[in-house]
Amino acid sequence: MKQIEVFVDSVYQNASGNKKEIDELKAEMRSHLLEAVYELKKDGKSDQEAIKLSIERFGGEQEIRFETNQHHHKKRLFEKGLLFAAITALIVALLSFQFLYQREELNSNDFPHRINEKIIDILNGQESISEEVKNELEFIVQSNKRIHQIDIYNIQGFEEDELYKKLENSKPIYSYFEDVSKPKWLWAGYNRGGNGMGNWFVYTSAFGYYVVSFLILFFGIALYWALFTIWAIAYAFHTTKKVSVLWMLSFLFFNIIGFAAFYLTNKKRIHEMKV
């Protein structure tokens, strides 16, 4: 019936998205309307009355058009939201990793040496390590939660060119160990640095937090990977109406490379669906 065709076309005239999906929705609406017209005609209604009543009962052109547009709009927003969330998760993870890793790199290179210099200043002019000096050293370690251990050597009489070799074979005249009771998985190990001046040489070991930056990177990429995979599957389904298990596995294991392969393989079909 021409009036039914005109009505269905008018409802979907501004609908955007998958052409095949829209055609299927139009066919489904047409079928419901024709069935309603048939039932009304059985009840004694004329063709015009039956068509008018079936359209009114179905909801009316303006209401149906609004609901149809809303449906497509929400679907597009959902897909865009998934892609935006995936890209945001990846960018945040990369930036956070870069910031934390570089910060830790600077700290690991600078932190032990600053402490060593501070300890050497305390030892400067001392012939031995008194109890008062020991208390000062313990206070320095305890007030810096990252310090794990300090080892102090008396290098009086050591030749400069053999200093490190002799240190390897010498025992420190004083060591202090601080057991920091924090979760062991938070750090990758110790940063160890040594400084010497006059009669003294100090090694300081401090905890490094490299693992935190790598954990942030790992979970950020994992979140991006999952969201992008869901988006790719949704996009593939809405543009081609059918997604094989092979393509879904391709999105899951190869991510953007898998999606690029899908897009290039189905480029013509996707374009036809959108037109």
Span 172-197, pLDDT tens digits: 888 888 765 555 555 455 677 788 88
Residue 243 lies in a domain: no
Span 18-24, mean pLDDT? 66
The pair phi, psi for residue 201, each rounded to 5°, is -135, 130
Q: Are 120 and 193 in contact (CB under 8 A)?
A: no
Q: Residue 212's closest CA among 180, 183, 191?
A: 183
Residue 133 lies in a domain: yes
- Residue 66's pLDDT is 47
- Identify which has the larger pLDDT, 89 or 9: 89
Do 208 and 111 fall into the same domain? yes
Q: Is the pLDDT of residue 108 over 70?
A: no
- Identify which has the larger pLDDT, 129 or 70: 129
Kindly report, residue by residue over 198-243, the tens digit of the pLDDT. 888 998 887 766 677 888 899 999 999 999 999 999 888 877 777 7
Edge-first strand order for the sheet with 189-197 is 174-177, 147-154, 200-208, 189-197
Do 115 and 183 fall into the same domain? yes
Structure tokens of 2?
Answer: 């021409």
Q: Are 133 and 122 in contact (CB under 8 A)?
A: yes
Residue 46 lies in a domain: yes
Q: Are 220 and 226 in contact (CB under 8 A)?
A: no
In angstroms, the CA 235 to CA 259 distance is 10
Do 55 and 123 fall into the same domain? no
Q: Are 84 and 34 in contact (CB under 8 A)?
A: no
Any idea which residue has 């690991």 for tokens?
108
Do 43 and 113 fall into the same domain? no
Q: Is the pLDDT of residue 247 over 60?
A: yes
Do 141 and 46 fall into the same domain? no
Kindly report, residue by residue over 60-85, the tens digit of the pLDDT. 544 555 455 556 666 777 888 999 99
Task: Render 104-144 in DSSP notation, one character per residue.
Answer: HHHHHHHHHHHHHHHHHHHHTT-SS--HHHHHHHHHHHHHS
Residue 73 lies in a domain: no
In angstroms, the CA 250 to CA 101 distance is 32
In angstroms, the CA 202 to CA 193 distance is 8
Do 44 and 114 fall into the same domain? no
Residue 173 lies in a domain: yes
Dihedral in degrees, nearest 10, Cα atoms 209, 212, 218, 220: -140
Residue ending a domain, choose from 19, 38, 59: 59
In angstroms, the CA 238 to CA 242 distance is 8
Do 39 and 113 fall into the same domain? no
Do 119 and 45 fall into the same domain? no
pLDDT bracket for residue 246 (50, 70, 90): very high
Residue 34 lies in a domain: yes
Domain that holds residue 162: 107-212
Residue 8 lies in a domain: yes
In angstroms, the CA 123 to CA 174 distance is 12
Residue ending a domain, choose from 212, 237, 266: 212
- Identify which has the larger pLDDT, 107 or 75: 75
User: How many domains are contained in the chain?
Assistant: 2
